[in-house]
Structure 1
Amino acid sequence: MQKRSPKAPSASQHNRSAFTLIELMIVIVIILILIGLLIPAVGAVRLRAQQSQVRSEIANLDTALTSFKTDFGIYPPSYIKLYESGSATWDAHSRGLVRKMWPQFNFALDKDINNDGDVNDVFTLNAGECLVFFLGGVWDVTGKTPNGFSKNPANPFAIATGGTNRRGPYFEFDNSRFTDIDSDTAAEYKDAFPGQQIPYMYFSSYDGRGYRSSELPSIPALGIAMTNVYHQGDPSPSASLGPAYKSKSYQIISAGADGQLGTGGNYDPDKNFPAGRTVESDNITNFSNGSLK
């Protein structure tokens, strides 16, 4: 039986092999280009989803603050001192606020607010800390979960094991997002942006009496140095401050994905922030529909 010799590849087959390699290279280049276009698009979609989550959470905080006001007659303050000792001399600002919220509060009663076994502590609560304390209440006996306030009108700060005979909590906090940026044992609450270090800021207008510049936070180590709440007006440096947003209630501010609050001041949704304030463009608040820009 005669064997057939193998056929040598034709010139056209040689050409076809070379062409296929060029096609493969072209496909690889196209894929790389598409990936380069897709990654920013995916990042933008992810960012919008994160922003939407924070806007939704701020809306839920709004609802919780309204519920608090329904029960206690005023929106929570954004600065207050709480004294455990019944012999303590309360400052007028703090005493007046507690009296409005709890008219039958017994100032002469010793109170172990943090359940540490003594009644010698004084708690100075500011911006983000007031948001957590008044919407969450005192912690339960485990010290891990906000447990609202006792319905005992003389001692609303009494510690309990559960939710029996309590008012609140008014908001369902995610315990993993509590923080303490000033290391004073009073918790603040971070928004849902991954890696966020700056907590929500809460500022009360004291039902229209006005925002207090003394309550604005300044922690240089974290880049926190607000000089104003947000006002309506031209954001250029030479412009005068306009009327405050939410002048009859409060402002809630998230530092956004970049974790930078900025200085605050005038904000106009139709104008860009000037140089030096561009970090504020991604801040999310309760008076804007999305990020500030």
Structure 2
Amino acid sequence: MKRRPPITLSASKYSRRAFTLIELMIAIVIILILIGLLVPAIGAVRLRAQQSQVRTEIANLEAAITSFKSDFGIDPPSYIYLYEDGGAAWDQHSKALIRKMWPQFNFGLNRDINNDGDTTDTFELSGGECLVFFLGGVFDSTGKTPNGFSKNPANPFSIASGGTNRQGPYFEFDISRFTDIDNDNAAEYKDAFPSQLLPYLYFSSYGGRGYRTSELPVIPSLGVDVKNVYHQGTPGATLGPAYKLKSFQIISPGADAQYGTGGNYDPAKNFPAGRTVEADNVTNFSSGSLK
């Protein structure tokens, strides 16, 4: 039997069965280009999904405020003092608000609102702190979960570990998203953006009487310097009427965790230099982000 010689490939046939270095480099470049095109697209889809989640949450907060107003006659205020000491001299703004919500409130009663064992504390609640307190209520005896308000009209801030003799909570807060950016032991609530640093802002128009610029947050250490609520009009021009003129504004700082300064906003016009960080803010008067 004759053995056949081993089959050998000619140089031309070998070149047709393997990638050359140039072909391999071209393939890598094409893959990198495709990745470069896909990554931003995937990121944009993820961002829109996160913005939609926050917009839905803001709508749920609006519904909770409606339920609160149904029970207490007014939207939650966005600035108030609460005094534990029954002998304290309540300021007129805070006292008037409490009387509207709880006409039979006993101002002379000592109460331990934060369950720390004394009745000497005074709480200054503003913006997002009011959103948490009035929609969540007094924290339960564990100090971790909002538990609504007592149905005792003279002492709605009494603490309970449970039971049915409560009004609220009006919103189911995720306690892992509570924060306290000004370190005053009053909780605020962060939106659902991953790694969010700042909480929702909340401003009441007090039933149309007007937004109060004195309630706007200034926290230099976090770069927060909100100068006004949002108004209708061209940025930089004279302020137009406020959005949600007779109710309230809720504002998320967006994925970049920056609020901006506020003021005039026109969805058909771009923000000027110095206000571009507001473009991704999500609010209760826009269908998505501001831009």
TM-score range, shorter chain: over 0.9
Tell me which residue corresponds to 1:146: 146
1:58 maps to 2:58: yes
Q: Secondary structure at the match of 2:250?
A: strand
Distance in 2 between residues matched to 1:19 and 1:248, nearest whole Å: 70
Which is further off, 196-205 or 13-22?
13-22
Determine the C-alpha separation between the residues in 1 that align with 2:229 and 2:98: 24
**Amino acid paired to 1:242:** G
Aligned counterparts of 1:288 and 1:7: Cα–Cα separation in 2: 73
- Structure 2 residue identity aligned to 1:268: D
Specify the alignment match of 1:271 in structure 2.
Answer: 269
How many aligned residue pairs are there?
291
**8 Å Cα contact 1:72-1:100 kept in structure 2:** yes
- Matches of 2:180 and 2:163, distance apart in 1: 25
- Confirm whether residue 240 of structure 1 aligns to residue 242 of structure 2: no
Whichever residue aligns with residue 272 of structure 2, its letter is: P
Q: Compute the displacement of 1:100 (Å).
A: 0.3
Paired position in structure 2 for 1:11? 11
Could you tell me how far apart the structure 2 residues matched to 1:11 and 1:260 are? Answer: 63
Look up the equivalent residue of 2:248 and give its one-letter code.
Y
Aligned twin of 2:279:
281
Give the match's secondary structure for 2:16.
helix
- Distance in 1 between the 2:11 and 2:248 partners? 81
For normalisation by structure 2, the TM-score amounts to 0.97
Distance 1:4 1:18 in 2: 26
Superposed, 1:172-211 pairs within 5 Å as 172-211=172-211
Q: Which amino acid aligns with 1:261?
A: Y
Quote the residue 2:29 is aligned against: 29
* Structure 2 CA distance for aligned equivalents of residues 109 and 197 of structure 1: 37
Which position in structure 2 is the counterpart of 1:113? 113
Corresponding residue of 1:158: 158
What secondary structure does 1:153 align onto? coil
Structure 1 alignment gaps of length 5 or more: none
Q: Which moved more, 1:20-29 or 1:175-184?
A: 20-29
Counterpart amino acid of 1:278? T
Following superposition, the deviation at residue 19 of structure 1 comes to 4.9
Contact 1:255 1:284 in 2 (8 A): yes
The alpha carbon displacement at 1:169 in A equals: 0.2
Partners of 1:163 and 1:290 in 2: CA distance: 39
Kindly provide the amino acid, as one letter, of the partner of residue 292 in structure 1.
L
CA contact (8 A) 1:147 1:163 kept: no
Q: What is the distance in 2 between the residues matched to 1:163 and 1:276?
A: 51
- In the other structure, the counterpart of 1:254 is 252
> Over residues 264-288 of structure 1, what are the superposed CA-to-partner deviations in whole Å (9 max), with x where a residue is unaligned?
0000111111101111111111011
Q: For each residue in 1:196-218, what CA deviation from the matched residue of structure 2 results, as whole angstroms up to 9, or x when unmatched?
A: 11100000000000000100000
- Per-residue deviation at 1:26? 3.4
Deviation of the 1:10 alpha carbon: 1.9
Q: What amino acid is aligned across from residue 271 of structure 2 in structure 1?
A: F
Do structure 1's residue 90 and structure 2's residue 109 form an aligned pair? no
Structure 2 residues without counterparts, runs of 5 or longer:
none
Separation of aligned partners in 1, 2:102 and 2:253: 33
TM-score by length of 1: 0.96
Partner of 1:168 in structure 2? 168
What secondary structure, in the 3-state scheme, does the structure 1 residue paired with 2:261 have?
coil
Residues 90-127 of structure 1 show CA distances to partners (whole Å, capped at 9, x for unaligned) of 00000000000000000011110001110000000001
Cα distance in 2 for residues equivalent to 1:12 and 1:234: 70
Listed one character per residue, the Cα deviations across residues 19-73 of structure 1 (whole Å, up to 9, x for unaligned) are 5665444333322211111100100000000000000000000000000000000
